[in-house]
Chains A and B, each alone.
Chain A
Amino acid sequence: MANNDEHKGNWWIWKVFWILLGVTAFEVALGIIQPEYLVGTKVLGTSLLNQIFIILTLVKAGYIVMIFMHLGFEKNSLKWTILLPALILIPYLLFIILTEGDYASIMMQ
């Protein structure tokens, strides 16, 4: 079915595995070391370290959804039907709720 030529072997599965493992190991290493420069630099309301964590998480999520869940090889119409609600609604929700959380923090003081 959707199993086209590039999916004959298993190498692509293990490639993604090593990427996910490598990224996770890198995150854990950063989390344990807590490099001072990354913790001290603030970007968009949180530390540069946290921003790196979030970006790496999105990279991992991308590999899982696109390769493991095969969404990258589905028809474009299906791909965007799945992705758009999440890509629009989740950042929207986060923006509203985190802004409100920040405001609540100011109100408490």
Chain B
Amino acid sequence: MSQTTNEISNWGGGNRPYVASYGKLMMWFFLITDALTFSAFLSGYGFSRFKYGEVWPSAEDVFTHFPFLHGDHPLLFVALMTFILIMSSVTMVLAVNYGHKMQKKKVILWLSLTIVGGFMFLGSQAWEWGHFIHGDKAAIQTHTLEVFHIAKDNELSSVYELMGVDGHDGTHHHFSVEEVGEALHSNTEYGIRISDKTYLDHEAAVKYYDKNAQEVLIGANLHNNEYGQGLFADYFFFITGFHGFHVFSGVIILLIILINVIKGTYEKRGHYEMVEKVGLYWHFVDLVWVFVFTFFYLV
């Protein structure tokens, strides 16, 4: 470390007790506050999960799609998203590492790849949101705002299957409670799964339906969603949205830094610490995703 500041007193700002620059320190302080914000969101999510217990939708019923593949593939797509983000974290460390060595070209290469990873993640999240909003199986809401699903042989089926239409044919579907009720009455092989995830056979299902059904839910919005408890979609939009916004702003900052690297700003400055500071932010975004992945998709 440079010794030129020896004459300034400890409290005069001359010493660096943390041996870290002002900018890096402030980035860390910002990240602490951001970490506390995210932990507040996720513990809010935990509160609702504990409160609603069995009624809360389970992720393996909700996130089952993978691009170009048919059928149920729970977890695969988020696993891919996690892989993309981990990968872009690695390219970021590589960029920082080559920054320390003042190798401009390699910094440009790895920083660019990090940005590509960021865009890939954002694209994946858009796809994920699209599917979440469009919905998959549709469901029926009761007067007491509980949500139940169509089932067949004690396994989740879908309103589309019951009605004999393709839910993913690209058009917007709409079903009335009466239509679905009629179909349920006349197709004896179908039952329902009520909100606490117990299955009712056809006879009980028809009784339950006629007594409670109020609205057919398709997809998700901020009022209600076909997956179950209404708050589930709110948390999903809010937490993954807030994280996605972090990724987005991260990509923008990375782009600005990349332009500076190409222009030679940090070469002139004599160090690539700015890359390191942005790197801290980028890793933090990855860190948050690790927790979102666990608490939204795994647990």
Closest to A91 in B: B39
Would B18 and A75 count as touching, CB distance under 8 A? yes
Would B75 and A97 count as touching, CB distance under 8 A? no
Residues of A close to B93: CB separation below 8 A: 13, 68
Does residue B36 face the partner (Cβ distance < 8 Å to A)? yes
Would B83 and A21 count as touching, CB distance under 8 A? yes
Please pick, from B52, B60, B94, B287, the residue contacting A13 in the complex, using a CB distance under 8 A.
B94
Given A31-B298, A85-B36, A101-B47, the answer on whether A17 and B86 have CB atoms closer than 8 Å is yes
A56 and B293 CA atoms in complex are apart in Å by: 12
Give the A interface residue count (CB, 8 A): 50
- Give per-residue flags for A85-109: 1 if the beta carbon is below 8 A from chain B beta carbons, else 0: 1100110011001101110110010
Residues of B close to A97: CB separation below 8 A: 43-44, 46-47
Would B79 and A61 count as touching, CB distance under 8 A? no
Would B299 and A50 count as touching, CB distance under 8 A? yes
Residues of B close to A100: CB separation below 8 A: 47
Would A28 and B75 count as touching, CB distance under 8 A? yes
A74 shortest CB reach to chain B, Å: 7
Would A94 and B75 count as touching, CB distance under 8 A? no
Interface of B is mostly: helix
Residues of B close to A21: CB separation below 8 A: 83, 86
Residues of A close to B74: CB separation below 8 A: 31-32
Would B50 and A102 count as touching, CB distance under 8 A? yes
A64 and B51 CA atoms in complex are apart in Å by: 32
Would A24 and B82 count as touching, CB distance under 8 A? yes
B45 shortest CB reach to chain A, Å: 10
Contact residues of A between 1 and 15, Cβ < 8 Å to B: 1, 3, 7, 10, 13-14
Would B18 and A32 count as touching, CB distance under 8 A? no
A1 shortest CB reach to chain B, Å: 7
A23 and B212 CA atoms in complex are apart in Å by: 45
Would B89 and A64 count as touching, CB distance under 8 A? yes
Would A61 and B290 count as touching, CB distance under 8 A? yes
A72 and B297 CA atoms in complex are apart in Å by: 29
Interface of A is mostly: helix
Residues of A close to B86: CB separation below 8 A: 17, 20-21, 24
Closest to B74 in A: A32
Does residue B177 face the partner (Cβ distance < 8 Å to A)? no
Please pick, from B39, B283, B293, B298, the residue contacting A69 in the complex, using a CB distance under 8 A.
B283
A40 and B83 CA atoms in complex are apart in Å by: 29
Please pick, from A24, A56, A81, A85, the residue contacting B79 in the complex, using a CB distance under 8 A.
A24
A69 and B96 CA atoms in complex are apart in Å by: 10
Does residue B90 face the partner (Cβ distance < 8 Å to A)? yes
Does residue A78 face the partner (Cβ distance < 8 Å to B)? yes
Would A98 and B283 count as touching, CB distance under 8 A? no
A21 and B88 CA atoms in complex are apart in Å by: 12
B21 shortest CB reach to chain A, Å: 9
Given A21-B86, A31-B74, A90-B39, the answer on whether A77 and B18 have CB atoms closer than 8 Å is yes
Does residue B238 face the partner (Cβ distance < 8 Å to A)? no
A97 and B100 CA atoms in complex are apart in Å by: 43
A101 and B52 CA atoms in complex are apart in Å by: 8
Would A98 and B50 count as touching, CB distance under 8 A? yes
Residues of B close to A68: CB separation below 8 A: 89, 92-93, 283, 286
A17-B90, A61-B287, A108-B51 known, 12 other contacts, Cβ within 8 Å: A7-B97, A7-B100, A24-B86, A31-B74, A31-B75, A31-B297, A54-B299, A64-B290, A82-B28, A94-B39, A101-B49, A101-B51
